[in-house]
Amino acid sequence: MAAPPLVVIEHDNREAAAHLADWRRRAVHAGFRLVDGWSTALRPGTVHTGEVVDDADARLAVRAAIGGAGVIALARGPRDVIDRLVEDLRRLGTTAHVTAGTSPPPRLTADERAILSLLVEGLTLGEVAAALGLPRRTADRRMASARAALGARGTVDAIAKARALGLLGMPYEE
């Protein structure tokens, strides 16, 4: 199992709810169990989610991370509390800090994800189309759509971006 996510989402981001839902979905897909709030009963394989509005909440979130749990925090507290929280979590591992200027991750359809995942496995786009029961032109259009959604220059760049965003192999509700 991969390392649990450490994420701080600032509430002033217009897309905070979308970021929160995306990170929760990623955690579940990676095999983690979500726990609402900053429980002191830490179990391996859990990701604690909740709001951080003051120092007490920040301490509980950091304590969860020290105990090996993941943290997805919606930070609504003062700037100094948020900054300390991010600093403390970064000492424990790679931490995603979603600020006001952070755009939500691109949304890919299930077909776009499937095409990228099969390309990663080494299939050609023609083989991918056949495996998915799609006409080749449809596969081409969906691949072009995925490249555009990811802001990728080419197919390899699209695969790299999708992998870095944790989008490959992830179920998607359309």
Q: What is the pLDDT of residues 63-90, one digit of tens each?
A: 999 988 999 999 998 999 999 999 999 9
pTM score, two decimals?
A: 0.66
Backbone angles phi, psi at 41, to 5 degrees: -85, 90
What is the predicted pLDDT for the residue at 173? Answer: 37
Q: Residue 92: how many CB atoms within 10 A of its CB? A: 14
8 A C-beta contact, residue 42 and residue 70? no
Q: Is residue 43 classed exposed, middle or buried when 0-12, 13-18 and 19+ CB atoms within 10 A define those classes?
A: exposed
8 A C-beta contact, residue 142 and residue 115? yes
Q: Taking 70 as the threshold, does the pLDDT of residue 51 lie above it?
A: yes
- 26 band by pLDDT with thresholds 50, 70 and 90: confident
Which of 47, 104, 105, 55 has the alpha carbon at shortest distance from 75?
55
Sheet with strand 70-75: strands edge to edge = 33-36, 46-52, 70-75, 6-10, 96-98
8 A C-beta contact, residue 116 and residue 162? yes
124-133: long-range pairs with CB below 8 Å, 24+? 125/155
Query: What is the pLDDT averaged over residues 116-121?
Result: 92
Please state, for a pLDDT cut of 70, what percent of the chain lies above it.
96
What is the predicted pLDDT for the residue at 169? Answer: 57
